[in-house]
Structure formats: structure tokens, C-alpha cells
């Protein structure tokens, strides 16, 4: 039986309660380890409701606990909205595996929620992010974006990505090429690597707030490429 977000919050507020990925759902446990009984499960929408309020924090030993009310999550990684976890992934032969993924909101949605981006910019950035995630969802969990095929270059990936991953990689490459060499590095850091705007500015040697202008220009270029807006 899948619980409502309110029910899950109530359970997770109990001492020792925690949440973990459990097949295609998320299990609420009240005991100290995985030998404890699963009290209820939560679907993807319910998980996102918990991430939005009050938030989740990593639990030692795996899984997550509720973030105490009023406590902001420290951004140690420079990746706003990052909630590390795993998502189920169906292979071509029907096998269900898992891969590491951000269970929270993307940097683009994080910026949009603060009024920094227009709807077409958000749609374009999220489309690039989704294609990049698909490109990286090959058989290897350690595959890096820079290991995927480039125009006129081979690949250093240790396994061959699926046809679907290769097609997504080509779409990402076409979109970045359309943005041009000046705007591409910012789009790569924000949309693909999930970096915060401040870290992207630091990494690219930009002054504070210059990154927002460049990101906006890059997202506008993506929107034109995708025919959005």
C-alpha cells in the first residue's frame, strides 16, 4: 500500500525512522537497519513532495531521514537541489537495474523557482539535461559524459552505450554545438554536470553574476535550437 506524503512525514518524524529506495518505490522503515519491517512505501511523486518539504538528508549507512523543520541543507557539493540516490532503470532485455541519480530538483529548476529563468529557458535546459541523463544511462554506472562519442572522435568508455544512449548523446552534442563555443561550457556545467551557478562561475573564471547572463544566453540559444517559445 502506497502512503500519502503526509502519512510518510508522520512516520518519518518518529525516532529512528528512515527512507530508502526499494524496487521501484521508496520504503519507510522504523528500525535501525534493513532487517526492520517496511511499514509503508512511497511512490515517486510522494518522494518529491518530501524533498520539497521538509527536505531529506543522507543517513549514515544509506537511505535518508527527514530534514528537521527550518534547517537548510548544506550545499557541500555545489550542486543545488541535489539529493543523491538511485533510480530503477529498465534494460533492453527487460532486466531492472539501478543507477545513481539526483532525486531532487535540477539546478535549472532550482534557478527557475527563484525567478531567474523564463519558461522557454527552463524547458530548453531541462530537455538538454534529460538527454544527457539518457546518454549517461548506459550499462556502466561509471561512464562519464566526456567518454561518450564526439564528432570525429572515438570513445574511451569501457562498455558500449545502448542505441538509445548514443542517440541521446548525439542530440546533446548537436544542442551544445548550436549554442556555440562561448556558451557551451556554461551549459555543460549547469545542465549536464549539475553544478551550482557560483561554482560554474569560479570554474570558468567569471565574475559574480556574469554567469547568470551567460547561462541565460545559452538557454536562449538552446530554445531556438529546439524550437521552444
Distances in Å between the alpha carbon of 192 and those of 48, 87, 147, 173? 21, 17, 14, 11
Whole-number pLDDT of residue 97: 54
- Please state, in angstroms and rounded to a whole number, the distance separating the CA atoms of residues 191 and 81: 13
Whole-number pLDDT of residue 165: 80
Whole-number pLDDT of residue 206: 92
Domain-by-domain residue ranges, the chain? Answer: 5-74, 87-226
User: CB-based contacts of 184: which residues, under 8 Å, 6+ apart?
Assistant: 176, 177, 218
Q: Which residues of the chain have pLDDT under 70?
A: 1, 24, 69-105, 137-162
User: CB-based contacts of 60: which residues, under 8 Å, 6+ apart?
Assistant: none
Average pLDDT, the chain: 77
Distances in Å between the alpha carbon of 30 and those of 26, 39, 103, 107, 166? 13, 7, 22, 32, 42
Return the H-helix or E-strand segment holding 97: strand 96-102
Whole-number pLDDT of residue 199: 85
Q: How many C-alpha atoms does 217 have within 13 Å on its Cβ side?
A: 13
Whole-number pLDDT of residue 141: 34
Whole-number pLDDT of residue 190: 92
Backbone angles phi, psi at 93, to 5 degrees: -90, 5
State percent of the chain over pLDDT 70. 71
Whole-number pLDDT of residue 148: 42
Q: Which residues of 85-102 are buried (b: 16+ CB within 10 A; e: fewer)?
A: beeeeeeeeeeeeebebb
Phi-psi label, residue 227: left if phi above 0, alpha if psi -120 to 50, beta otherwise: left
Amino acid at each position: 500500500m502506497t502512503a500519502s506524503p503526509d502519512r510518510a512525514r508522520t512516520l518519518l518524524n518518529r525516532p529512528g525512522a528512515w527512507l530508502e529506495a526499494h524496487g521501484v518505490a521508496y520504503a519507510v522503515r522504523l528500525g535501525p537497519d534493513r532487517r526492520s519491517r517496511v511499514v509503508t512505501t512511497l511512490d515517486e511523486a510522494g518522494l518529491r513532495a518530501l524533498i520539497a518539504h521538509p527536505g531529506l538528508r543522507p543517513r549514515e549507512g544509506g537511505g535518508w531521514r527527514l530534514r528537521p523543520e527550518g534547517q537548510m541543507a548544506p550545499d557541500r557539493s555545489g550542486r543545488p537541489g541535489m539529493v543523491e540516490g538511485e533510480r530503477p532503470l529498465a534494460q533492453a532485455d527487460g532486466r531492472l537495474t539501478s543507477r545513481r541519480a539526483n532525486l531532487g530538483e535540477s539546478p535549472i529548476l532550482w534557478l527557475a523557482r527563484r525567478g531567474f529563468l523564463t519558461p522557454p529557458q527552463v524547458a530548453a535546459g531541462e530537455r538538454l539535461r534529460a538527454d544527457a541523463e539518457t546518454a549517461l544511462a548506459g550499462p556502466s554506472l561509471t561512464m562519464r559524459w566526456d567518454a561518450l562519442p564526439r564528432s570525429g572522435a572515438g570513445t574511451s568508455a569501457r562498455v558500449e552505450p545502448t542505441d538509445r544512449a548514443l542517440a541521446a548523446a548525439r542530440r546533446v552534442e548537436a544542442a551544445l554545438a548550436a549554442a556555440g563555443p562561448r556558451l557551451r561550457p556554461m551549459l555543460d556545467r549547469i545542465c549536464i554536470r549539475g553544478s551550482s551557478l557560483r561554482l560554474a562561475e569560479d570554474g570558468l573564471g567569471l565574475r559574480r553574476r556574469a554567469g547568470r547572463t551567460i547561462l541565460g544566453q545559452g538557454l536562449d540559444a538552446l530554445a531556438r535550437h529546439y524550437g521552444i517559445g
